[in-house]
Amino acid sequence: LPEYMVPAAYVVLERFPLTPNGKIDTQALPEPVIEQWEVEGYVAARTPEEAQLAEIWEEALHIKRVGITDNFFALGGHSLLAARVLARMQTVFGVAIPLKTLFTTPTIVELVPLLLSESAHKTGKAIEKISEPDTPLLLSYAQERMWFFEQLQPNNPLYTIVLAVRLPRTLNMTILQRSVDRLILRHESLRTTFVNTPTGPVQIIAEQCPVLINVIQLQSVAETEREQVIQQYAEQAAHCSMNLERGPLFYITAIAAQNETVLLITQHHIISDGWSVEVMLQDLLMIYEAYISSSDPILPELLIQYADFAVWQRGQFQEAVAAQQTAFWLEQLSGLPQLLQIPADFSRPAAQTFRGKRHTFIIEQTVTQKLTALSRNEGVTLFMTLLSAFEILLQRYTRQEEFIVGTVVAGRQRPELERLIGFFVNTLPLPAKLSGNPSFTALLERTKHIVLEAFANQDIPFEHIVEAMQPKRDLSHHPLIQVMFVLQNTRLGTLEDDQTMQVIEVESGSTQFDFTLEITETAHELHASFVYASDLFSPATVQNMAKRFICLLSNIAETPHQAIKDFSLISPEEYRRIIDRNTLFETDYSNRAYLPEAVEAAAQKNPNGLAVAQGEKQLTYAELTAHAKRLARQLTELGVGPEVVVGVCFERSIELVVALLGVWYAGGAYVPIDPEYPVE
- 311: CB partners within 8 A, 6+ apart: 130, 133, 137, 138
CA atoms within 13 A on the CB side of 4: 2
Identify the weakest region by mean pLDDT among 20-34, 481-495, 571-585. Answer: 20-34
Cβ-contact 270, 194 below 8 angstroms: yes
SS3 of residue 351 by DSSP = coil
pLDDT digits (tens, 9 = 90+) for 144-195: 989 988 888 887 788 999 999 999 889 999 999 999 999 999 999 999 999 9
Say yes or no to pLDDT of 569 above 50. Answer: yes
Mean predicted confidence (pLDDT) in 631-647: 96
Q: What is the pLDDT of residue 8?
A: 44
pLDDT digits (tens, 9 = 90+) for 412-446: 888 889 899 999 999 999 999 999 999 999 999 99
Going by C-alpha positions, the residue among 206, 301, 303 that lies closest to residue 249 is 206
Going by C-alpha positions, the residue among 115, 107, 110 that lies closest to residue 72 is 107
Mean predicted confidence (pLDDT) in 569-596: 82
Q: What is the pLDDT of residue 104?
A: 86
Task: Determine the length of the chain.
Answer: 680
**Residue 439 DSSP code:** B
Cβ-contact 514, 532 below 8 angstroms: yes
Mean predicted confidence (pLDDT) in 636-652: 94
By DSSP bridging, strand 610-614 and strand 617-620 are: antiparallel
Please give the mean pLDDT across all residues of the chain. 87
- pLDDT bucket at 572, cuts 50 / 70 / 90: confident
Say yes or no to pLDDT of 356 above 50. Answer: yes
Identify the weakest region by mean pLDDT among 9-13, 300-304, 609-613, 642-646. Answer: 9-13
Going by C-alpha positions, the residue among 151, 62, 131, 205 that lies closest to residue 491 is 62
Q: What is the pLDDT of residue 283?
A: 95
Q: What is the 3-state secondary structure (H, E, C) of 307-331?
A: HHHHHHHHHHCCHHHHHHHHHHHHH
Q: What is the pLDDT of residue 38?
A: 47
Neighbouring-strand partners of residue 409: 426
- 662: CB partners within 8 A, 6+ apart: 627, 628, 629, 630, 631, 632, 635
Cβ-contact 508, 335 below 8 angstroms: no
Mean predicted confidence (pLDDT) in 313-331: 84
pTM over 0.75: yes
Q: How many CB atoms lie within 10 A of CB 287?
A: 23
pLDDT digits (tens, 9 = 90+) for 359-392: 999 999 999 999 999 999 999 999 999 999 999 9
Q: What is the pLDDT of residue 158?
A: 87
Q: What is the pLDDT of residue 582?
A: 78
Q: What is the pLDDT of residue 40?
A: 44
Mean predicted confidence (pLDDT) in 246-258: 91
pLDDT digits (tens, 9 = 90+) for 31-90: 544 444 444 444 455 788 888 898 888 888 888 888 888 888 888 888 778 888 888 888
- pLDDT bucket at 499, cuts 50 / 70 / 90: low
Provide the b/e sequence for 335-368 (b: ≥16 CB within 10 Å).
ebebbbbbebeeebeeebebebbbbebebeeebb
Q: What is the pLDDT of residue 11?
A: 41
By DSSP bridging, strand 402-409 and strand 426-433 are: antiparallel
Going by C-alpha positions, the residue among 338, 324, 187 that lies closest to residue 249 is 187
- 48: CB partners within 8 A, 6+ apart: 32, 34
- pLDDT bucket at 632, cuts 50 / 70 / 90: very high
Q: What is the pLDDT of residue 25?
A: 67
Say yes or no to pLDDT of 654 above 50. Answer: yes
**Residue 460 DSSP code:** S
- pLDDT bucket at 475, cuts 50 / 70 / 90: confident
By DSSP bridging, strand 42-46 and strand 35-39 are: antiparallel
Helix (H) or strand (E) holding 606: none
What is the distance, to the nearest Å, from the Cα of residue 556 to the centroid of all Cα atoms in its chain?
21
